[in-house]
A and B are shown apart, each in its own frame.
Chain A
C-alpha cells in the first residue's frame, strides 16, 4: 500500500524557517518524481514544487522561489521541503504528492502537515 506521511509542520514566526519531511513507503520511491502542494485555510490547492526521481530536474512556484528548497534522499525514501524567510501567506497545509508525467501523476497524496506563520 502506498503511504506518504508528512511531518515537521508547526507554528513559526515570520522570517523563520521550517523543514518538512515526507516518508514514503509501499512503492519504489527512487523511480518517481515527487511534489509539494499546499492549501491555505479555506482556500484551494496551490502547487509549490516538484523534483524528478534523480533530483536532476527541480521546479518551484514563483511564490516560493528563492525561499524554499526541495530535496530528496532516495536511500531513505524521503522527500523534504526546506522553508526559509517564511511569511504569513505561507500558512497552509502542505501535502506530499507522488508522480510525474505518466499514469502516476499526482495519484497519491499524504495527509498533510499544517504550517502556521504568525507572531
Chain B
C-alpha cells in the first residue's frame, strides 16, 4: 500500500501569516495516463471533508486563492498564503493513483 506521510501533525499559525503542509508518498503518484492523482481536503470542526485541490495543483471552485498546491512524484505541498480564522481545521492529502486509495494522517491547523 502507498503510505502518505503528512507533516507537521499540528500547525499553530498567526492570523495573516503563511502556512505550509507537506505530504510525501512512499511511491510515485504518476498514473499511467500521465496524471498525478493527489488531492487535498479540509475538514472544519464538525463538518464533512471538503476538497480544496485536485491533481496536485488545481483549485476547486469557491476555494480562496490563498490556497495553492504544488509538487510532483512523491513530494507535495499545500500552502496557505495568509491564514484566516476560517481555515482552522484538519487538512488531509489523499492519493488516487494506486489501489487501495490512501489518506495522509492529517495536519491540524490552529490559530496561535
Determine the interface band of chain B, counting residues with CB < 8 A from chain A: 20 to 34
Q: Is the interface of A mostly helix, strand, loop or mixed?
A: loop
Given the known inter-chain contacts A44-B106, A45-B92, A45-B94, please indicate yes or no for A106 contacting B51, CB distance below 8 A: yes
Q: Is the interface of B mostly helix, strand, loop or mixed?
A: loop
Scan residues 18-39 of chain A and give those whose CB is less than 8 A from a CB of chain B: 35, 37
Scan residues 46-90 of chain B and give those whose CB is less than 8 A from a CB of chain A: 48-51, 54-55, 58, 60, 90
CA A44 – CA B48 in complex, angstroms? 12
Given the known inter-chain contacts A47-B100, A95-B48, please indicate yes or no for A103 contacting B35, CB distance below 8 A: no
Residues of A within 8 A of B92 (CB): 44-45
CB distance from B44 to the nearest CB of A (A): 12
Partner pick for A103 among B33, B58, B102, CB 8 A cutoff: B58
CB distance from A89 to the nearest CB of B (A): 17
Instruction: Name, among A47, A108, A110, A112, the residue most crowded by chain B CB atoms within 10 Å (CB to CB).
Output: A47
Binding site for B on A (CB under 8 A): 35, 37, 44-47, 50, 59, 61-62, 95, 101, 103, 105-112
